[in-house]
Structure 1
Amino acid sequence: MTDPLPSTVDVAAARKLVSSAPRTRLIDVRTPGEFAAAHIPGSHNVPLDLLRANSSELSAHHSDPVVLVCGSGARAEEARNLLATAGIAQLAVLKGGIGAWEQQGAPVTRGAGKWAMERQVRLAAGSLVLTGVLGSLVAPKLKWLAGFIGAGLTFSALSNTCGMARVLSLLPYNRTPEQDASTLLAALTR
């Protein structure tokens, strides 16, 4: 029996795990657009929304270590909770996500110019706040738009969730290309 994984691993520990246990699965739970923009070589994209939608079908027929990756760690932690509930044992979250991976100089495969979800959220939130503030010069009630976005961002920080990211993940360039869910989930479960 293998030693259980800690709930989180830093970049050095993840790289060591991949080199010492070649059957380690790197599962990236970001949107397909984010994955296409930059991902860890050898990782598989199994978006969090797909895991949520298919959580009742999840079960692993392996005991391979699984390292979950996202932008910063929050979505990977949610995925870890889902997968642990489904009975998948050897799970760890990459501390700091793909950002930490890149900062440590670890290899990254880059694709065409898609933006990370965090950057998309910053653009959308910033644009809405700016629209609310500038628009309030003409229509004073628009200041409430800026207040609403500020309240949403505060709630997002306190709850470690992001409603705007969930909405943005529904946009066509962030959605999973036409692939069978079982094919994507196979990277995790088989």
Structure 2
Amino acid sequence: MTTRTDPPRLDPAALRELHDSGDGPRLLDVRTPGEFRTAHIPGSYNVPLDTLREHRAELLHHLDDEVVLVCRSGARAAQAEQALAAAGLPNLRVLDGGVMAWEAAGGVLTRGPERWDLERQVRLIAGSIVLVTGLAGLLVPGLQLIGTAVGAGLTVAALTNTCAMGMLLSKLPYNRGPRTDLDTIVTALRGTP
């Protein structure tokens, strides 16, 4: 029985050095189009995680170079690495700490319109549910159990490094941003207009 190891990581300083030299690997940003549009590493390609998982076989034909996977903090990029590695793509690495670490290390970002990132949206929704049901539970006994369920969901999210609420919020039009389909992604990866 083989044990799955953590994906190879590339720290922001090393990626910045490669990026600045013009010899950098292909960067695939697996965040939602809305997140990508807000801020991304110049030269990166937006391949949302759901699209990557669904079309990884087609994408393999356009990813023969060394690839670094990028997301906000590294969690979704690690999931993308697992999907592409299972499909047979070698030379995959994950940007350690994601776009947040890249920016903290002084890396340049291409910026678009500001929007709240998914983690902040999850904190707002979860906190609001807990607050409202906690207060309403004073008037309607048992209502505070909804807040307990949200707390349990957040605990599971932390333990499994997934977030059902975040996945649901990513489907909202506000978070989707411009539509990203396979043909658009392949055209960008090929470098053809």
Partner Cα distance (1:92, 1:32) in 2 = 21
- After TM superposition, the structure 1 = structure 2 runs for residues 69-80 of structure 1, keeping only pairs within 5 Å, are 69-80=70-81
Q: Is the 8 A contact 1:58 1:86 kept in 2?
A: no
CA deviation digits over 1:42-86, x for unaligned, max 9?
111111111122234332345321111111110000001111112
For residues 188 and 82 of structure 1, the distance between their equivalents in structure 2, rounded to whole angstroms, comes to 18
CA deviation digits over 1:115-142, x for unaligned, max 9? 1111111111111111221121221222
Cα RMSD (Å): 2.0
- Give 2:42's aligned residue: 41
TM-score w.r.t. the length of structure 1 is 0.88
Identical aligned pairs, as a percentage? 54
Write out the 4+ residue segments of structure 1 that deviate beyond 6 Å after TM superposition. none
Give, in whole Å, the separation in 2 of the partners of 1:30 and 1:129.
27
For residue 54 of structure 1, what is the aligned residue in structure 2?
55
- Alpha-carbon deviation of 1:155? 0.5
- How do 1:162-181 and structure 2 match up within 5 A? 162-175=163-176, 177-181=178-182
Partner of 2:91: 90
Structure 2 alignment gaps of length 5 or more: 1-6
Map 1:21-170; keep pairs closer than 5 Å: 22=23, 24-170=25-171
Contact 1:71 1:118 in 2 (8 A): no
Is contact 1:23–1:64 with CA below 8 Å preserved after alignment?
A: no
Q: Which one is further off, 122-131 or 172-181?
A: 172-181
Cα shift at 1:21: 5.8
Q: 1:3 aligns to what? A: none
How many residues are treated as equivalent by the alignment? 185
> Which moves more between the two structures, 128-137 or 18-27?
18-27
1:10 aligned onto 2:38: no
**Secondary structure of 1:140 counterpart:** coil
- Bigger mean CA deviation after superposition, 71-80 or 135-144: 135-144
User: 1:179, CA displacement in angstroms?
Assistant: 4.2
- Evaluate the alpha carbon distance shift between residue 8 and residue 157 of structure 1 in structure 2; reply closer, same or farther with a 3 A threshold: same
Over 3 Å counting, the alpha-carbon distance change for 1:62 and 1:32 in structure 2 is closer
Runs of 5+ unmatched residues, structure 1: 1-5
C-alpha displacement at 1:186, in angstroms? 4.9
| Matches of 1:166 and 1:115, distance apart in 2 | 15
SS of the counterpart of 1:137? coil
Q: Which amino acid aligns with 2:173?
A: P
Q: Are the counterparts in 2 of residues 27 and 46 from structure 1 also a CA contact under 8 Å?
A: yes
TM-score by length of 2: 0.87
- CA offset at residue 104 of structure 1? 1.0
Shift of 1:100: 0.6
